Copies of this chain bind each other. A is one copy, B any other.
Amino acid sequence: MMAPTARSVETRERILAVAAEEFADRGYAGTSIGGIAERAGVGKGLVQYHFKAKVDIAVTLVQSAFAQAPFANVVSVNPPPRGVAAIVASIRAVSRAFRDNVRVRAAVRLVREYDIIPVVFPTPYVGWMAVMAQCLRDATDAGDIPPGLDFETEGWHLVATFTGVQETSQRLTQREDLPERIEEMLQRQLRLLGVIDPQRFL
């Protein structure tokens, strides 16, 4: 294959953007290469030149969403937050991404539909749990949390609780109340973790 031209890169991005809308709206089963081509205003053959099959588009979207900043807890401020501030920033950033970023919404829906998609997606949750555990360790070292926490267990429950809040808000209000529920969750979680003077971080 020749080196991709600017135009070819642009087409590939347009296909991915349209595919994200389709997967987020209709799910895996409801999305087709033909539908993506039509919505992108290109021929079906051009979509298949970039992606052999629907499943390849799904995998590309999921991988790019998982690699994104908020999930990796790299929040783009300088200096980057650490400890409790990083936990709060990453939970807020991920929850905003769930609402506002169609590629993240598509990825979340595809991962939720994993059992009807013939491919192994990256395991959700575990990377973020490890980051959370490290932030809790840093917060304890910094004296913001009293010693004695089991960092891995607390990291597990932080991510699980976030997952439940976002899923419940999505099912009951299509995520309309998500920002408010996330703030309620953060209040509760910082209290539970024993964060000293938690309002500093909220």
Contacts and interface: CB of A to CB of B under 8 A. Distances in A.
A27 interface: yes
A10 interface: no
A130 B196 CA distance: 33
A191 B188 CA distance: 11
Interface SS of chain A: helix, strand, loop or mixed?
Answer: helix
Copies of this chain per assembly? 2
Contacts of A115: 27
Chain A residues touching B, range: 20 to 34
A39 interface: no
Q: Which A-B residue pairs are the 10 nearest by beta carbons?
A: A164-B164, A160-B168, A163-B164, A160-B164, A160-B165, A161-B161, A29-B116, A161-B164, A192-B192, A27-B115
Given A126-B172, A156-B168, A164-B167, 18 more contacts: A27-B115, A112-B112, A116-B116, A124-B171, A125-B168, A125-B171, A125-B172, A157-B185, A159-B168, A160-B161, A160-B164, A160-B167, A160-B169, A160-B181, A161-B164, A162-B164, A164-B164, A191-B192
